[in-house]
Amino acid sequence: MSVDKSPAKISGMFDAIAGRYDLLNTVLSAGLDRYWRRRAIASLELTGRERLLDVCTGTADVAMAGARATRGAARVVGVDFAGAMLAHGVTKLRDKGLSDRVQLVRGDAMSLPVQAASVDAVTIAFGIRNVQQPEVACAELWRALKPGGRLAILEFGLPVFPAVRPLYLWYFNHVLPRIGRAVSKHTAAYDYLPQSVGSFPWGDAFARILTATGFSQVKARPLSLGIVYLYSAKKPEAGAGL
């Protein structure tokens, strides 16, 4: 199924649900979303000195997790093209006293507003499947990272045990959109969620895109039975062969 991922449609949809986005994340994932974000940050093995770029930052949960982790990033920049999502993020950063370490910038994942080789680590949580040309965004992540820099991407997948899939798909395709519609009052956003997941390459298929971009040490780890995947990778050190 082809899904419309034009920037105007995607940013408009997230702007429309921004006020209910955090609540729905927690409800629909039964609180697992915080654990998934923590795992992504932990995979970066931060030392406290890094500059972290969080792409598709939304309301800045990963950006905040990156700054608040033990030996968290020294500086974090979050990028997103949905202004209302960023506005909620700005309020959260102020409430948590993180405004001096975390900066939010409006921009597109396919043309990141950062200099080449300027960040030590990059994250995207539940954003890459929304990007019109994911390969272009992956090339942008590569460009932004310093040689030796690390990448962590979270995205939905399917349960690794085939026996669990029908039950999960029933929840994901039928129950989740109803709850999403009722809480967000948006008719299409939570129909779009399962459609976008169904049309996105996951597991080894997405790992191959990262490898083709030039990343090394690419790993696809299933979390929570595989309903989410954590992809980790490294930009090779300068001079190292691809």
Ligand X SMILES: C[S@@+](CC[C@H](N)C(=O)[O-])C[C@H]1O[C@@H](n2cnc3c(N)ncnc32)[C@H](O)[C@@H]1O
228 binds ligand X (CB under 6 A): no
Determine which residue in the list 80, 120, 140, 155 makes contact with ligand X, applying CB under 6 A: 80
Tell whether residue 109 is a contact of ligand X (CB under 6 A). yes
32 or 164: whose CB is closer to ligand X?
A: 32
Residues 228/235, Cβ–Cβ less than 8 Å: no
Helix or strand holding residue 53 (H, E): strand 51-55
Give alpha helix (H) positions in the chain.
Answer: 7-28, 32-43, 61-68, 83-95, 134-144, 165-170, 176-184, 189-198, 204-213
105 near ligand X, judged by CB under 6 A: no
Of 130 and 213, which CB lies nearer to ligand X in the complex structure?
A: 130
Q: Is 50 in the site for ligand X (CB under 6 A)?
A: no
Q: Is 56 in the site for ligand X (CB under 6 A)?
A: yes
- Which conformational region is residue 196 in: left (phi greater than 0), alpha (psi within -120 to 50 degrees), or beta? alpha
Distance CA 183, CA 176 (A): 11
Between residues 61 and 120, which has the closer beta carbon with respect to ligand X?
61
Q: Which of 16, 44, 62, 227 binds ligand X (CB under 6 A)?
A: 62
With beta carbons less than 8 A apart as the criterion, state whether 219 and 151 touch: no
Six token digits for residue 125: 């949580």
Q: Which listed range, 41-49, 50-58, 184-192, 214-222, lies at the site for ligand X (CB under 6 A)?
A: 50-58
User: What residues make contact with ligand X under the rule CB under 6 A?
Assistant: 7, 10-11, 14, 25, 56-58, 61-62, 80-82, 85, 108-110, 125-127, 130-131
